[in-house]
A and B are shown apart, each in its own frame.
Chain A
Amino acid sequence: MSSEIKNIPPVAIEKPKFKVWNGARAIAEAVKVADVDVISAYPIRPYTGIMNALASMIANGEFIADVVIADSEHSQFEIVKHASAVGARTFVGSSGVGLAYAAEAIIVTALSQLPVVGAIGTRALDDPGNFGMEWSDVLMFRDYGWLISWAKTVQEAHDMTLVAYRVAEDKRVLLPHFVVLDGAALTHVATPIVPVTKEQATDFLPPYKPPYRIDPIDGPVTKAQHIAPSLIGPEQRKLVDVATKRAKEVIVEAWKDFATYTGREYPPFIEAIGMEDADFALIGMGAYMKDIEIVAKRMREKGVKIGTIRLRYVRPFPAEDLLRVIDGVKAAGVIEFGYSFGSPFGTGSLYHEIATSLYETNTRPELLDFLFLGGREPKVEHFMKAAEMIIESVHKKPQKKAYWLTLRGEDI
């Protein structure tokens, strides 16, 4: 893929031009410079703003794309899946129950290896009408071959969208990709950002060329036929598995190239702050990491050797990178907004991923889980409390693994 890249600009980057955009607008602007062809929309908070922004850009002739207003999320994801099979670059998105409604179409997109890119504004799965922020909607699709990256800032959400197309469409990968923004916290919060220019995007992102198009020009291709479990069942699964594994090197490569074109550097998988000599770590993802990093900084000022670990991807899960940065830590806490009822020790979805990774180390740190469920917003004090609890866990073995810090009443 890198051989196709041309026009590497001189290192001197022009003075950045800032724009004040919220997460929704920032994603839409990335879709615009990515020259997406087919977009499919259906409203659900909090992701809808992305589609609103795109619709108005297209109505005003800022770029050419077809926005298909679907009758449901199921149709929405089927539309982009098939447009992608024909060779169009596509964009889609949803939140909460919208994703649940589209589950079938979402799952088969990865198994057909179609590089659709979707944005998710995270939202609680309704227990009637919960608008709050939870991760359960995204994590429901952890297991089906979608690549999933998680933004911390509006700038990162914007940049991640372009990188998502680059990774998804790479011939070594060909998998769909979700870019995740925490609902409200990123979708609706405006900050100044430096946009990727059209020129940068064109150079960074080669045109999408699917290997087997559904188009009479390419002759008869029969796609997604009935699978005989005995004949190619496991082999078909293996193809997707290999693609998710290969995605790791492609992701590293893509972020490196992205830095060359834009001057903005990101660690590909894990952002570790203050971890070099850390005894303690707070681990999480997404927009609230900004607050968590402030908490860690304040505690550092008081002499506590604490750092933060932020996962930028949950699929593929960067276990090796995690083990590298967490090495030597005595106790760590996972801060998360996703849960699995009836799970081992009542722990959350992200905890399971991290605990599984840590099982491979000889010096397993004490690992606690801090759960923020049902959409109630956490405060900095909650993260502070989490930090205090992991520090204390080294002296006194904790009674439980998981704590619901925003819960009113007894946490039994």
Chain B
Amino acid sequence: MIMQSEFKSLREIPPIDYYTAGRRTCAGCGPAIGYRLISKAAGPNTIFIGPTGCMYVANAHQFLTSPYSVPWHHTQLGGGGAAAIGIASALRTLMLKGKRKPEDINVIVMGGDGAMADIGLSGLSMGLSYDYQRLLYIVYDNEGYMNTGVQASSTTPWGATTTFTPSGKVKPLGNTRYKKNVALIAASHPNVKYVATATLWPPLDLMNKVVRALNSGGPSVIHALFPCPKGWFTSPADTVMLSKLAVETGMWVLWELIEGQFKLNYRPNPRKHVREYLSLQGRFRHLKDEDIDKMDKMIEEEWFYWNESAKQEKLILPY
């Protein structure tokens, strides 16, 4: 099979979809839009693995329909890392032993933040210690356990309300933990060939990162921020705009690490105030001005490190 090369313009995007009709995600679902772009970029020789979460339950669902026109297999909530290794190992061994025609096959895990940053973090880390090729872990980060009704995960942002972190009279802030940076954890694995962050905007950035990850020659991770109208209390029409605002306010940093070399993909200049991003989201409605300013200051401080990393072309930990 010919390896997919990078897309130079939106016109080059193939019209064919591998994530098609037959799903019942919410209107404006960020992970669903992401799934469509990711599967387009990966092409037909792909196996998708779905740990439990919205991209399982709301897709390969109870009415016995399936939106996937490529092979797809569920795995347990914490099984994403291992399931991909099982499939990659089987393909490689069967090809090696002459039991299957040799061919490039992509193995992609579409795991939520709960699945990959919490319960499955150990399995993800194990997966990244191997050398199977065309193995991509997408951490689709909607910043919470959405399928179970919006509970906080370790990637829920500071100050967001969830059903586990409500804003109350005694505890007004909501979530008091800081968002875990899964891409940085992934980057600390010596065998990982490619690590990137992405969101729905710009779409070519996401799609080309998928192509680069799959062609990188080893296991790879894309930590992708995908807005969730249900859990963020946002309008379904705003999903892509929120992705853009996350980048333009500096709240979400687009970067990639190619064989250890750091590259900043977008520098917001001038950076928009985080208020523009937060004010569209019901989950931040309770925040006081001083909370929002604190958040903006945190972003400012963090960006010192991103700029420095960009200058030196290597990762410098911002925390």
Chain A residues near B (Cβ < 8 Å) = 37-38, 40, 64-66, 68, 70-72, 74-76, 78-88, 90, 104-105, 108, 207, 213-228, 231-232
The number of residues on chain B lying at the interface, defined by a beta carbon within 8 Å of a beta carbon of chain A, is 48
Neighbouring B residues of A88 by C-beta, 8 Å: 89-90, 93-94
- Closest residue to B130 on the A side, CB-wise? A68
Does B176 reach chain A (CB closer than 8 Å)?
no
Q: A221-B72, A222-B71 given. 10 additional CB < 8 A pairs?
A: A64-B93, A82-B75, A82-B82, A85-B86, A85-B87, A215-B100, A216-B45, A216-B70, A220-B69, A227-B62
Q: CA A72 – CA B81 in complex, angstroms?
A: 11
Neighbouring B residues of A222 by C-beta, 8 Å: 60, 66, 68, 71-73
Does B63 reach chain A (CB closer than 8 Å)?
yes
Q: CA A72 – CA B78 in complex, angstroms?
A: 11
Neighbouring A residues of B99 by C-beta, 8 Å: 37, 87, 207
Does B44 reach chain A (CB closer than 8 Å)?
yes
Asked if residues A78 and B93 are in contact (CB atoms below 8 Å), the reply is: no
Partner of A85, one of B46, B62, B73: B73
Asked if residues A82 and B76 are in contact (CB atoms below 8 Å), the reply is: no
Does B214 reach chain A (CB closer than 8 Å)?
no
Asked if residues B126 and A225 are in contact (CB atoms below 8 Å), the reply is: no
Asked if residues A38 and B89 are in contact (CB atoms below 8 Å), the reply is: yes
Asked if residues B90 and A70 are in contact (CB atoms below 8 Å), the reply is: no
- Closest residue to A104 on the B side, CB-wise? B76
Q: CA A251 – CA B44 in complex, angstroms?
A: 40
Asked if residues B87 and A83 are in contact (CB atoms below 8 Å), the reply is: yes
B73–chain A nearest beta-carbon distance, Å: 5
Nearest 7 A/B pairs, CB to CB: A228-B62, A82-B86, A225-B60, A75-B82, A88-B90, A71-B126, A222-B66
Neighbouring A residues of B79 by C-beta, 8 Å: 74-75, 78, 105
Q: Would you list 5 pairs from A and B whose C-beta atoms are within 8 A, ordered by A residue? A: A38-B90, A64-B96, A75-B82, A85-B73, A222-B68
Asked if residues B81 and A75 are in contact (CB atoms below 8 Å), the reply is: yes
Does B57 reach chain A (CB closer than 8 Å)?
yes
Question: B46-59: contact bitstring with A at CB < 8 Å (1 yes, 0 no)?
Answer: 11010000001100
Does B169 reach chain A (CB closer than 8 Å)?
no
> Main SS of the interface on chain B?
mixed
Asked if residues B71 and A79 are in contact (CB atoms below 8 Å), the reply is: no
Does B83 reach chain A (CB closer than 8 Å)?
yes
Asked if residues B123 and A223 are in contact (CB atoms below 8 Å), the reply is: no
Neighbouring B residues of A214 by C-beta, 8 Å: 47, 71-73, 87
Neighbouring B residues of A232 by C-beta, 8 Å: 64
Asked if residues A216 and B94 are in contact (CB atoms below 8 Å), the reply is: no
- Closest residue to B70 on the A side, CB-wise? A220
Asked if residues A70 and B71 are in contact (CB atoms below 8 Å), the reply is: no
Does B11 reach chain A (CB closer than 8 Å)?
no
Q: CA A87 – CA B76 in complex, angstroms?
A: 20
Partner of A224, one of B61, B73, B122, B125: B73
Q: CA A38 – CA B61 in complex, angstroms?
A: 30
Neighbouring A residues of B180 by C-beta, 8 Å: none
B152–chain A nearest beta-carbon distance, Å: 22
Q: B63, B69, B99 — which one has the most chain A CB atoms within 10 A of its CB?
A: B99
Neighbouring A residues of B105 by C-beta, 8 Å: 215-216
Q: CA A85 – CA B84 in complex, angstroms?
A: 11
Asked if residues A38 and B93 are in contact (CB atoms below 8 Å), the reply is: yes
Asked if residues B87 and A86 are in contact (CB atoms below 8 Å), the reply is: yes
- Closest residue to B57 on the A side, CB-wise? A226
Q: CA A88 – CA B70 in complex, angstroms?
A: 19
Asked if residues B90 and A87 are in contact (CB atoms below 8 Å), the reply is: yes
Contacts A72-B122, A231-B62 given: A87-B94 contact, CB under 8 Å?
yes
A219–chain B nearest beta-carbon distance, Å: 8
Contacts A40-B86, A222-B66 given: A86-B44 contact, CB under 8 Å?
no
Does B91 reach chain A (CB closer than 8 Å)?
yes
Q: CA A243 – CA B72 in complex, angstroms?
A: 24
Partner of A71, one of B56, B62, B72, B125: B125
Partner of A108, one of B69, B70, B76: B76
Partner of A86, one of B61, B69, B78, B94: B94
Asked if residues B89 and A68 are in contact (CB atoms below 8 Å), the reply is: yes
- Closest residue to A213 on the B side, CB-wise? B71
Contacts A38-B89, A79-B82, A83-B87 given: A216-B64 contact, CB under 8 Å?
no
Asked if residues A78 and B75 are in contact (CB atoms below 8 Å), the reply is: yes
Contacts A105-B76, A215-B47, A226-B56 given: A68-B62 contact, CB under 8 Å?
no
Neighbouring B residues of A216 by C-beta, 8 Å: 44-47, 70-71, 105
Asked if residues A226 and B60 are in contact (CB atoms below 8 Å), the reply is: yes
